Amino acid sequence: MMNKRLEAVVYGRVQGVNFRYYTELEARRLQLTGWVANQPDGCVRVVAEGTEAQLHDMVQFLHRGSPAAYVDRVDVAWTAATGEFTRFKVRWV
């Protein structure tokens, strides 16, 4: 099965609410690779690679977020996986 790459930007109250921590936990549970990072404009960016089914589960999670988060919207783009990641981690920008 061919892996895919998900690039998502999550808008809302998603910084300072453990969003990255919960995203990392969910990605590892789903056995995805990639990263999550806060962005200077207040959104959170996620890049993840895995099977299409795993990534669809991640998109569902991103619409919920962490318990204290409030997600307004999630912009999603799909591309082919690059295989550049070995695990999923929080990236600091």
**Catalytic machinery residues:** 20, 38
88-90 and 33-38 beta bridge pairing: parallel
Q: Which amino acid is at 35?
A: W
Distance CA(49)–CA(36), nearest Å, equals 12
**Helix intervals (H) in 18-51:** 19-29
